[in-house]
Amino acid sequence: RQRQLRDLVDLPSRTRDGVSIKIMANLELSEDVQVARAAGADGVGLYRTEFLYMNRDDLPNEEEHLTNYIEILEGLDGIPITIRTLDLGMDKRTGAMADPSGGATNPALGLRAIRLCLKEIELFRPQLRAILRASALGSVRLMLPLVTNLHEVETVLDLIGEIKRELDADGLDYDPQMQIGAMIEVPGAALAARPIARRLDFLSIGTNDLIQYTLAIDRLDDAVNYLFDPTHPAILRLIRIIIEAGAAEGVSVSMCGEMASDPRFTRLLLGMGLREFSMQPGAILNIKETVLNADTQDLSARAEFLFAHLDDADPSLLLDALNAD
């Protein structure tokens, strides 16, 4: 089986009916680049940059960010990368800030990710400058975590505009067309995704947080993880809304949460119109095998059937039916 999967590395990710699918890697450390390449990833759909901040007492400066991004771009050898801006807070800490959420009783609902970055602009600015500078050297997209509303998006777009003018003044290169997107992982942002999509170049569905916030279950609390269910009808409906918002606004939608790496959901997601998946590198070939055997026309009809019966049948049985031959 392993040998068979390895044979898939160089095949294009295309369904039986000829639809191209992007199967990308999630990276947390620059060292993982080689693993992603070896699995034949079509790109990096999520580069988590938190580790640059962890286990240290000061903050990384622009040059440090840039050095790290250049190192990764060199390892990627031309395939595109989506760099996610800092998602600090909740469980992710740095020695340079005692507690990013300021001792909040509920840090998952507090100052985290883009909220923290917009409050502490000096934390954010060096990373934005470095990502822009990296965009001059390879295929780089910038992605914002935990976006809740349009105002946050517009504030970041203004800030990026300002930084581009600074870089011009400093005589530093960047790609003026660098794509900017948002992770949709807050239920309210999913329900209001269209205007967000309209202002951006892409969306990416973060199911880990989307499930946490929609089903009110702390993703770090083992006592409630039995409730963590990607097939909950509310989750499936939210995912569908996000995919439809992207299609309506003509922007691409990917999924970079764990759900994208589980082959049990691949056929359903294809049937719902998802065309880009990003996952831990170890899952890539398994998902690719499912994609190569899939027919999107057939799956689209099956997904319609599943949604039509979502309120009168057990979703996991509907999913089994969708996955049956």
Q: What is the contact surface with ligand PEP in residues (CB under 6 A)?
A: 46, 48, 87, 185, 206-209, 256-257
89 forms part of the interface with Mg ion (CB under 5 A): no
> H or E element: which one contains 257?
none
Site residue total, Mg ion (CB under 5 A)? 3
The two tokens of residue 322 are 């969708």
Chosen from Mg ion, ligand PEP, none, partner binding at 256 (C-beta under 5 to 8 Å by type): ligand PEP
Chosen from ligand PEP, Mg ion, none, partner binding at 289 (C-beta under 5 to 8 Å by type): none
Chosen from ligand PEP, Mg ion, none, partner binding at 182 (C-beta under 5 to 8 Å by type): none
Q: Of 42, 152, 209, 258, which lies in the binding site for Mg ion, with binding defined by CB under 5 A?
A: 209
Nearest to 208 by CA among 261, 249, 143: 261
Q: Are strands 202-205 and 140-144 parallel, antiparallel or unpaired?
A: unpaired
Chosen from ligand PEP, Mg ion, none, partner binding at 48 (C-beta under 5 to 8 Å by type): ligand PEP
Nearest to 232 by CA among 199, 251, 261, 210: 210
Chosen from Mg ion, ligand PEP, none, partner binding at 257 (C-beta under 5 to 8 Å by type): ligand PEP
Q: What is the b/e burial string over 241-270, where b = at least 16 CB atoms within 10 angstroms of the residue's CB?
A: bbbbbbeebebbbbbbbbbbbbeebbbbbb
Q: Of 40, 89, 206, 315, which lies in the binding site for Mg ion, with binding defined by CB under 5 A?
A: 206
User: Given the rule CB under 5 A, which of 3-11, 72-80, 180-188, 222-230 is the region that contacts Mg ion?
Assistant: 180-188
Question: Of 183 and 294, which CB lies nearer to ligand PEP in the complex structure?
Answer: 183
User: Given the rule CB under 5 A, which of 21-29, 67-75, 177-185, 244-252 is the region that contacts Mg ion?
Assistant: 177-185
Q: Is 180 left (phi over 0), alpha (psi -120 to 50) or beta?
A: beta
Nearest to 130 by CA among 75, 71, 184, 183: 71
Question: Of 30 and 208, which CB lies nearer to ligand PEP in the complex structure?
Answer: 208
Backbone torsions φ then ψ of 321, nearest 5 degrees: -65, -40
Question: Of 219 and 309, which CB lies nearer to Mg ion in the complex structure?
Answer: 219
DSSP class of residue 111 equals: S
Q: Which residues contact 161 (CB under 8 A, 6 or more apart)?
A: none
Question: Of 32 and 209, which CB lies nearer to Mg ion in the complex structure?
Answer: 209
The two tokens of residue 150 are 């349009």
Chosen from Mg ion, ligand PEP, none, partner binding at 323 (C-beta under 5 to 8 Å by type): none
CA 307 to chain centre: 24
User: Which position has the token pair 């300002």?
Assistant: 162
Chosen from Mg ion, ligand PEP, none, partner binding at 42 (C-beta under 5 to 8 Å by type): none
Question: Of 140 and 184, which CB lies nearer to Mg ion in the complex structure?
Answer: 184
The two tokens of residue 75 are 């390892």
Report in angstroms how near the CB of residue 68 gets to ligand PEP at its nearest: 17
Report in angstroms how near the CB of residue 114 gets to Mg ion at its nearest: 11
Task: Please give the residue ranges that form the binding site for Mg ion (CB under 5 A).
Answer: 185, 206, 209
